Amino acid sequence: MNQAFFFGLGFSSINAAQAMRKNGFARIGGTVRSPEKAAHLRADGIEAVLFDGASPGPEVGRALDTASHVILSIAPDEAGDPALRHHRADLDAAGQLQWLCYYSTVGVYGDFDGEWIDETAPLVPRNMRSDRRVLAEQAWRDYAAERGVPLCILRLAGIYGPGRSSFNKLRAGTARRVIKQGQVFNRIHVADIARVTALAAEQRLDGTFNLADDEPAPPQDVIAHAAQMIGLDVPPDLPIETAEMTPMQRSFYRDNKRVSNRAIKQALGIDLLYPDYRAGLAQILESEQ
């Protein structure tokens, strides 16, 4: 009986959990930080337990005991991956474990001056967050090898979907069209993350794959298109040289690359549900209506 457990039931993981349930997973569990969120998810049939990443979750070991598929969606900190640090012994004791999946980021590649790259590109991260991701990826590879189970690493592009898109920023009046000449980003719709996770779990896919859309695009183009779709004014151009940004916001603009998704599509024999931001935004708007 397939049972999935998620370390970190956030935006992507909850969507993936729902997709896996539709694919026949009998039980879905995972970790959250607050009792309120745990209660909400339990009401929806997801067996949520508490884990804050700072100390072991008292119910995690029991929840992992019968898990066949474990998906890891907690960002590493300065001490490494919290799930591996606090619950390695529980993972060791999970006798039904058949597959691991780690959500990483395309930020591990760093900057390629707008060139196309694939999974063979060298990893030259440009910030501490991505440095930690590189180390966490390797830690999970080492662990999977020791356990003798397949590990699928999904390097995710910028995540968006219903409730988390350019529409929300435009309506809140916080959307900005920061212009950096030649800058492009890949994105990935949360529904594609969910579908790929469910399919990869079913096949127990092993390896490292980019999960990004087909069309990397300038961020200002996405904002402009979204504004036109909902009849709001397009925010003015804001040159990056004069834009006020936090260090974290500015760090995103240091990386400029076009990320190929060919490997994951070939491995699973699929095309993306939302291959570009136009299709993805259209779906979000339709879901709102």
Q: Which domains does the chain have, with CATH numbers?
A: 3-160+187-214+259-274 (3.40.50.720)
pLDDT for 168 equals 97
To the nearest whole number, what is the mean pLDDT of the chain? 97
Closest CA to 216 of 275, 279, 133, 288: 275
Task: Please determine, for residue 174, whether its predicted confidence score (pLDDT) is greater than 90.
Answer: yes
| Section 126-144 average pLDDT | 96
| Cα angle 261-265-271, degrees, rounded to a multiple of 5 | 100
pLDDT per position as a tens digit, 5-23: 999 999 999 999 999 999 9
Q: Are 72 and 7 in contact (CB under 8 A)?
A: yes
What predicted TM-score, i.e. pTM, was given to this entire model?
0.97
Closest CA to 238 of 228, 226, 256, 250: 250
Within 8 A by CB and 6+ apart from 33, the residues are 50, 51, 52, 53
pLDDT band at 81 (very low <50, low <70, confident <90, very high): very high
Q: Are 82 and 228 in contact (CB under 8 A)?
A: no
Q: Largest alpha-carbon pair distance within the chain? A: 57
pLDDT band at 126 (very low <50, low <70, confident <90, very high): confident
Place of tokens 């966490």: 136
pLDDT per position as a tens digit, 258-289: 999 999 999 999 999 999 999 999 999 999 98
Query: Token digits for 3?
Result: 């049972």
Q: Are 73 and 125 in contact (CB under 8 A)?
A: no
Task: Please determine, for residue 189, whether its predicted confidence score (pLDDT) is greater than 90.
Answer: yes
| Other beta carbons within 10 Å of 110 | 21
